[in-house]
Amino acid sequence: MSHPQHAALSIVGEEDSAKRRQILDGARAVFMDLGFDGGSMGEIARAAGVSKGTLYVYFTDKNALFEAIVEQEVLEQGKSAFNFDPTRDTEITLKEFGTAYIQLLCRPGGGSSTRTVMAIAERMPEVGQRFYNNVVALTIGRLAAYLEARVTAGDLAIDDCSLAASQFMMCCQASLFMPFIFQAAPAPSPEQIAEVVNSATRMFLAAYWRR
């Protein structure tokens, strides 16, 4: 039987976490609408439906809020489990990874966080760098390690696996990510993703498959 005090602390913790998410959602909306400079703490409090006093309990300033938004996106993207078992079939692995990667990049609602990070990276380069290193570079590195294993196995002939990993990821984005991130098109359909990823895989294997 759980202790009443422990149950009460759990409820408080859940409420605190929900309030924090509520504030971050409000801040993200304000930053996207008014920009980092234009969005005041008062505007953020109104958008989040909390008092300024409550806002300052959780975040000391806009910089802290923005960093929290970036960390939230890092955690969200980090939840994706790509199967890079070095013994897996190369074509299957590339197709499955490419599909999951684009679904993650272009998920409904996910673009706002990426756009926000891109917009503020010049002002706060350390935040942009942390996002890149913990999300983009980490994924490139994991795919590169898989490709190196397939080179060792004799399936692929690649001199620079990190470059090849970046090339494949960019090919998977072709015609999908840029229109989505600039809000020129909605999130791509599964059929659109499959078409582009299958094409990217064919191109990649045509260039790097050991003949």
Summarised one tens digit per residue, pLDDT across range 49-77 is 999 999 999 999 988 888 888 787 777 76
Residue 132 scores a pLDDT above 60: yes
**pLDDT over threshold 50, residue 158:** yes
Which part of the chain is CATH 1.10.357.10? 74-208
Angle at 105 between CA 99 and CA 108, to 5 degrees: 105
Q: Distance of CA 160 to CAs 24, 106, 145, 164, 173, Å?
A: 40, 28, 11, 6, 20
Q: Which of 65-69, 112-116, 141-145 has the lowest mean pLDDT?
A: 112-116
pLDDT mean over 79-94: 90
- Which residue ranges does the chain devote to CATH 1.10.10.60? 4-60
Which stretches does DSSP call E strand in 43-146?
none
The CA-based angle 155-156-158, given to 5 degrees, is 160
- Whether this prediction's pTM lies above 0.85 is answered by no
> What average pLDDT score do residues 143-153 get?
97
C-alpha–C-alpha distance, residues 76 and 37, integer Å: 26
Burial of residue 66, with CB atoms counted within 10 A of its CB: 0-12 exposed, 13-18 middle, 19 or more buried: buried
Mean pLDDT of 79-103: 92
Lookup: tokens for 185: 């098109």
Domain 4-60 in CATH: superfamily? Homeodomain-like (1.10.10.60)
Q: Any idea which residue has 């008092």 for tokens? A: 51
Helix axes 110-120, 62-78, angle to 10 degrees: 130
Architecture of domain 74-208: Orthogonal Bundle (1.10)
